[in-house]
Amino acid sequence: MGKLIINQDKVQDIKKLIDICPFGAMEEKDGHLEINSNCKMCRLCVKNGAGAVEFIEEKVQAIDKSKWQGIAVYVDHVEGNIHPVTFELIGKAKELAKKINQKVYCLFIGYNIKDKAEELLHYGVDEVMVYDKKELEDFRIEPYTFVFSDFINKVKPSSILVGATTVGRSLAPRVAARFRTGLTADCTVLDVKENSDLVQIRPAFGGNIMAQINTPNSRPQMATVRYKVMSAPSRQTETSGHINFCDIDSENLTSGIEVKNIIPKEKEHSISEAEVIVAAGRGVKSEKDMAMIRELAQVLNAELGATRPLIESGWIDAKNQIGLSGKTVRPKLIIACGISGAVQFAAGMNNSDYIFAINKDPKASIFKIAHYGIVGDIYDIIPKLINEIKSEKEA
């Protein structure tokens, strides 16, 4: 980080300097040049200001990275039933830890979860830190944050991975703020450098670019990851690693929130679990043409998916949206019909086993990630595809 300093004695033409800034961040006050909150640190004023504006790099105190060791995974669960995103994160944590020769930890918080903790040892973690207290039976942000902080202070993990679930999205920012560290949400790619710096990649600016984010001067490093983005390791018959039962003073587990009653939510059918998906994009010209897409999905016994424009048009339910602003999916097969393949959509489905794309634009981005592709009009190809499938079924 750095800051801009104005050398008032070198300011010759205030109006000229004000005109340099494309963001309107420079203004005159009482005959002096000042910088306001519109500044984007583009440094055009430094480059073209003839020495009137100077950029000074602020010194950041280096952190002792040797004191922070290991990759930790927060265990997301409901009454001890572990959310599958946890196993996906364990798989990624093992991959990262192997590169830097460090341990994999799991943080398990709840009540009556001691028996459930052993399941994590079938996935190759080194240590499971279990906080099992009556006060932790229901998720409440204050006690869970305190326990999470206690875990960090005891273990000092270099990086922490949290599932981007309802609980994870609430808990991770609170913990990150407490340790004054960075948190990257909805990462699609994670890697680690030899010095244990976590490389966090996610779409930014509406999905137009892939941003690489690093927090080299902060520990722990924290990232949230959506379900179905990473690959879960195979469950092993034998267990490895061990469980540590951690004690914590009940006085520190008080909360201003009192849970009066819990009403179980009806389990909804989610497109995230589908094995075959037919997805429609802007190439579908009208709502009545969705019948063609629905028929293709029907003959394949597939789920119907769509990109954001079709959801906003009301042609399909929002629960069927695929992408970072919708659902992340990982089917065995996805057929992309008239979809250009913007980053926002691709990040939500590019880990599918097989991607089959149909688009009349040979330069469409979807072909860069597709395993198979047909360049052509969906209005010509899909009806033929439906007939072929029906013929095969009849045969």
178 and 136 together in one domain: yes
Closest CA to 175 of 153, 202, 197: 153
In this structure, what CATH number is given to the domain that contains residue 371?
3.40.50.1220
The verdict on residue 268 lying in a domain is: no
Is 178 labelled a binding residue? no
Is 378 labelled a binding residue? yes
Number of domains in the chain: 3
Domain interval for residue 111: 65-252
Closest CA to 132 of 73, 79, 71: 79
Give dist(CA 223, CA 106) in Å, integer: 15
Is 321 labelled a binding residue? yes
336 and 240 together in one domain: no
Q: What pLDDT does residue 134 have?
A: 94
Is 339 labelled a binding residue? no
Closest CA to 104 of 53, 157, 144, 153: 157
In the chain, the amino acid numbered 127 is: E
87 and 128 together in one domain: yes
Closest CA to 160 of 205, 225, 206, 100: 225
95 and 49 together in one domain: no
26 and 96 together in one domain: no
The verdict on residue 258 lying in a domain is: no
Give the containing element (helix H, strand E) for 61.
none
- Over residues 159-191, the pLDDT tens digits come to 999 999 999 999 999 999 999 999 999 999 999
Q: How confident is the model at residue 5 (pLDDT cuts 50, 70, 90)?
A: confident
130 and 236 together in one domain: yes
Give me the helices (H) in 109-265, please: 114-117, 141-155, 166-178
Mean per-residue pLDDT for 278-299?
A: 96
In the chain, the amino acid numbered 318 is: A
Domain final position from 16, 31, 57: 57
Pairing of strands 26-29, 32-35: antiparallel
Handedness of CA 39, 44, 45, 51 (dihedral sign): positive
Q: How confident is the model at residue 335 (pLDDT cuts 50, 70, 90)?
A: very high
368 and 316 together in one domain: yes
- Over residues 112-144, the pLDDT tens digits come to 999 999 999 999 999 999 999 999 999 999 999
191 and 299 together in one domain: no
Is 324 labelled a binding residue? yes
